[in-house]
Structure 1
Amino acid sequence: MTQPALSSPSPVDPSVAIAQLASQLRWHRRLLAVFGLVLAAGIIAFAVQESQASGGTARFDELTVQRLTVAGPDGVRRYILSHDMPKVPFAGREWERTVPPGMAGLVMLDPKGNEVGGYAASDSHAMLSLDYRDHPLEAVVLGTGKADDGSQAAQILLKQPPTGPAVDMDAVDRGAKKAAQGSADPNDPDVRELKRHYAMQSVRVALAATPKTAALVLSDAQGRERILLRVDEHDDPAIVVLGPDGKEIARFPEAKK
């Protein structure tokens, strides 16, 4: 049996071929987009089913994130965990904070969304703090640090409890900007609030240890050191009482001559 003759291919217009290829690519992109949506919906449905099957909870062996926020049913944030230190949430705003580079942190917040403490760590510092309520002020600070020469130290600080009305952080912010611009008029209400805020941050009790010394320092309400209980670098102990001007007024035992 003879085979039918094959017709020779006809020449194709290059512009037509390109148009057909572009049309096919657009169709494939739409198909992939639809497939992605279907896959995402399937994953979400599976997660919901697993959560419902486990009583509203999901379990993961490991979860890697750069930032994690825990909020209540009302949407108010209660914990913020971040690879870089979060800003200070207080009075409905977030304020800049000064921390060493590379510091990660966990911030604790009250039911109003105000910061009330937290933990922070970098390659040279670690700090745990508890704050006073309704004031952007630290109450207790426990910290460790490493100096450039590799020596390390630890300290515990108890800070002055706040008095008077709550700090106006908007006024403090304006006062700080005016001070940075060199226009810190002492009679300016914003500057006065800035100074009041700084005055409320004085340390009343400090306990510290270094490789060679240890000390307990008690200060007055103005932050002036008044009583020092210490062991110096020669392992000699002393109790020193200072006057308001910082001058020594008593010591036990008496200083060696």
Structure 2
Amino acid sequence: MSWLSSPRFLTVYSGALTLVFAWTVLTGFSRDNAIIPEVRVQRINIVEPDGTLRMVISNKARAPGIYMHGKEYLKGQRQTAGVIFLNDEGSENGGLTFGGAKSADGTITNHGHLSFDRYMQDQVLALTTTQRNDDLSATLSVLDRPGYPITELLELLERIKNWPPEQQQAELERFNATHPQPQRRIALARETDRAVSLQMRDTEGRARIVMRVDANGEPKLQFLDAGGNVIGQLPQ
């Protein structure tokens, strides 16, 4: 038997190759200015030195759930690629998501969303675009969010996620009856009918001032009461 094919030589040889590979990886990637021309990954987790998660970049299949204080809620329910931002405590505080495709029947859908959240709550500033065939909209929104921690809602959703839909809906209605709801206060939009508008709303989410330019170019400024009735308009 040749010494080149002996078990002892093969063991030493494989061990030497492993050491060379490990040394190459460790020395190559430890350089501060190392350049990697291209990386193909499905998800990247950006963490602090202590391991606190600060950012997730992922495809649709490996999209994260919602992180609060390092705990992941509703894993697998976020169905979009994008970037999720987390604060110093490992809690989500914004994100960028996007997607789009043409279906087998020719329907075109497209969407993009950039948002920033209130502490331990959901988005208070959002830029959203949507498309379905020729229906396009783009909206910049400013929202009021309630003060209760969103973990109360997330824990409820985790608990009822396997319930029948009608029972889930009933439980959510009970929750909403005892918790303040978010309200959109400002919306600057390009609407699906090709009009553009600026709406300013009161703390109950009711439109009170609406500036609008219709698709035919006609401008309008309206003042509304709490019931939605026009109490003043320009031009008259």
Q: Which residue of 2 aligns with 1:21?
A: none
Q: Calculate the TM-score normalised by the size of structure 2.
A: 0.76
CA RMSD of aligned residues (A): 3.2
Q: Which residue of 1 aligns with 2:231?
A: 249
Aligned equivalents of 2:76, 2:200: Cα separation in 1: 27
SS in structure 1 at match of 2:116: strand
What is the 5 A alignment of 1:109-188? 109-123=86-100, 124-135=110-121, 137-149=122-134, 151-163=135-147, 165-167=148-150, 168=152, 169-171=154-156, 173-174=158-159, 180-182=165-167
CA shift, 1:216, in A, is 0.3
Q: Which amino acid aligns with 2:88?
A: P
Task: Point out the structure with the larger strand share.
Answer: 2
Aligned equivalents of 2:203, 2:158: Cα separation in 1: 24
Q: Which residue of 2 aligns with 1:50?
A: 28
1:59 equivalenced with 2:35 (yes/no):
yes
Distance 1:184 1:79, change over 3 A: closer
Is the radius of gyration larger for structure 1 or structure 2?
1
Which one of 182, 201, 205 corresponds to residue 186 of structure 2? 205
Structure 1 regions of 5+ residues with no counterpart?
Answer: 1-26
Q: Calculate the TM-score normalised by the size of structure 1.
A: 0.70
Aligned equivalents of 2:40, 2:12: Cα separation in 1: 28
Aligned equivalents of 2:161, 2:224: Cα separation in 1: 32
Aligned equivalents of 1:134, 1:215: Cα separation in 2: 31
Q: Deviations over 1:99-143 (max 9, x none)?
A: 6x6x311001012111111111112011111111122x1011112
Q: Deviations over 1:74-112 (max 9, x none)?
A: 11110100011432212422225866x6x3110010121
Q: Figure out how many residues of one structure are paired with residues of the other and give that number.
A: 215
Structure 2 regions of 5+ residues with no counterpart?
Answer: 1-5, 101-109
1:82 equivalenced with 2:58 (yes/no):
yes
CA shift, 1:241, in A, is 2.0
Identity %: 24
